[in-house]
Amino acid sequence: MDKLKKGLSKTRENTIGKIEALVKSSKKLDDDFWEELEEILIQADVGVNTTIELVDNIKKAAKKQKMHDSSEVLELIKDEIRKLLEYNNVPLNIPQGELAVILVVGVNGAGKTTSIAKLAYRFHEEGKKVLLGAADTFRAAAIDQLNIWADRVGVEIIKHQEGSDPGAVVFDAIHASRARHADILIIDTAGRLQNKANLMKEISKIKNIIQREIPEAPHEVLLVLDATTGQNAISQAKIFEEATGVTGLILSKLDGTAKGGIILAVEKELKIPVKLVGIGEGLEDLRDFSPQIFTEALFAHNGGD
């Protein structure tokens, strides 16, 4: 909770701080109050559609509870944000007693490689045997970077040379995972969006190879989105969803943005659950997303940091 509070401090100051100031300066719940609340949420990257629906729900709840004084509405705002985040909350799907395959997708620079490293570290610390598959063969730097992280975390990596067939890497990684009795295989993929058709073709090929070897896999297709890119993250997500059938989101760099409202827009507009959030640079700073804890940390007083 303390770590999350610290990670959300920029968003809390920028968004919740402004809402609290609005509540203090407004006496009654009139049109001006609701308009200003909408403005604050839109500026926090909650998104226009999500903001309108959220404010509408808060208005209805305030009316139902016969609230007239703005000082009473803060708890309602908190409740409605939590409800919105709980609507689609699903934990990571990691089957027990069989090889779990996690495919990780996302644009270059979104924090994909570090998210894979943090995920591998987490499973490794839980005592699971983890293998990484370096299927982003488009850039030599991607393979090298993943290799460095694998060494640092203490897990094995299956890699080929730059320019080799990503499908061949995935095939070898699955067979190596079985031979070495691995619990979890995490596969990195190329993150270029310039040619959507190529991306779709490549990911489809990788998924077909995985499913041919393990029919029920991949157990998760996790899309890494950079929280600091705001609404741009949503357009990225739509392309990847179409190409890969994303099952969950990793929202990285949440500690680096003052517009953490993007998490509400992502949940509402994409209908894809946020499963993990990145709240710092450390290997342990990729956490399961909990709507309850997230909301409590978001509304915690800054003095508690």
Show binding-site residues: 106-113, 188-192, 252-255
In the annotated binding site for GTP, the residues are: 106-113, 188-192, 252-255
Q: In whole angstroms, what separates CA 71 from the centre of its chain? A: 33
Q: Which residues pair with 249 in a beta bridge?
A: 223, 274
How far is Cα 208 from Cα 205, in angstroms, rounded to an integer? 5
Q: What is the CA radius of gyration of the chain?
A: 21
How far is Cα 11 from Cα 17, in angstroms, rounded to an integer? 9
- Whether omega for the bond prior to residue 95 falls within 30 degrees of 0, making it cis, is no
- Tell me which amino acid residue 256 is: G
